[in-house]
Amino acid sequence: MTNNAAVDGGLQSAMRRALELAAHGPATGVNPRVGCVVVNPAGEILAEGWHRGAGTRHAEVDALAQLAPDAAHGSTVVVTLEPCNHVGRTGPCAQALIEAGVARVVYSVTDPGEHSCGGAERLRAAGIDVQGGLLADVGEAFLGDWLSAARLGRPFVTVKWASSLDGRAAAADGSSRWITGAEARLDVHRRRSASDTILVGTGTVLADDPALTARDADGGLLARQPVPVVVGRREVPASAALFAHPQQPLFFDGLDLSALLADLHTRAVRSVFIEGGPTVASAFVAAGLVDEYLAYLAPTLIGGPRLAITDIGVATIGEQRRLSIHSLDRLGDDVLIVARPLTP
């Protein structure tokens, strides 16, 4: 007699292992991080695999490659994302699983890709038992900005600012170093490194001459550096610090923000980290193109006109843009509030 609770627990354990494997893959770029575990009918792990980046074997094929021919016959494949159903740089994983003779496929998140989706249907048509949605909340959280970019057809957009408790991002003379403390600034650099791009306006470049790099506590460059994106029509001098950035900067006039994001999407950019200034950040907010807000609040008061966000098209209180608090963290003396737009 089959113990269904034990079977379900075993699948959850295998899925958690698949998520651990997926974390070995690159966190940025066009491809998702995917992990795969192949188990036999007794629940024993036969093989493991993960996707190592564009052009490499997908997680399912990577796991199958660890096995001898026919060794996967009758097995259960546990994978974090629905097996793909298209030919790109590699063949469709759904077909590879069919040819391997697996009996069952269990996945966490449905593939939202226009060209890559449909793997589950292809597997079922071949007589394979398919179950989707296992630990879906965990899988969705893990895939994060890639999943959002795949669904929206544009990069995931984060707007960040650091301000006093009264919402000021700088003093009246424009000086802003430093409102927040060292722990908050290190957190910003960590998040920069995790993003594909870092975006600012020409006003910020001309006023502050930022390097737009991601750095450690000692000022050294982190291993991953976001591509600088500069928005605006004013000319940036050749002596600007951003031209010494390890990545080649990209420039846009900013007249059409949706077109800007569409262009970045074609360049395999899946995340945009907007650091300012207030004019550019507010333009993205007003256009409804922000997916996440990071507000670093320092326990200080500044007053004056230098607000973190300016006009976003709210003329009356009924038009205010309500957000939901995703997380709230203490960073030294500062507080980080992560908020996201309310979904309808």
Residue matched to tokens 């564009």: 54
| 60 catalytic residue (yes or no) | yes
Distance between CA atoms of residues 296 and 238, nearest Å:
32
- Of 320, 318, 325, give the one whose Cα is nearest residue 309: 320
| CB-based contact 18:26 (threshold 8 Å) | no
CA 231 to chain centre: 21
Q: What is the 3-state secondary structure (H, E, C) of 69-133?
A: CCCCCCCEEEEEECCCCCCCCCCCHHHHHHHHCCCEEEEEECCCCCCCCCHHHHHHHCCCEEECC
| CB-based contact 206:173 (threshold 8 Å) | no
Residues with Cβ within 8 Å of 301's Cβ and at least 6 positions away in sequence, in order, are 164, 165, 166
Distance between CA atoms of residues 295 and 180, nearest Å:
11
Burial class (CB in 10 A: 0-12, 13-18, 19+), 19: buried
4: number of CA atoms within 13 Å, CB side? 0
- Please tell me what DSSP assigns to residue 235: P
Backbone angles phi, psi at 321, to 5 degrees: -100, 100
Distance between CA atoms of residues 64 and 175, nearest Å:
58
Using DSSP's 3-state secondary structure scheme, residue 58 falls into coil
To which H or E segment does residue 21 belong? helix 4-22
| Catalytic entry in 60, 82, 275, 292 | 60
219-254 burial: b if 16+ Cβ within 10 Å, else e: eeeeebbbbbbbbbeeebeeebebeebebebbebeb
The catalytic site residues sit at: 60
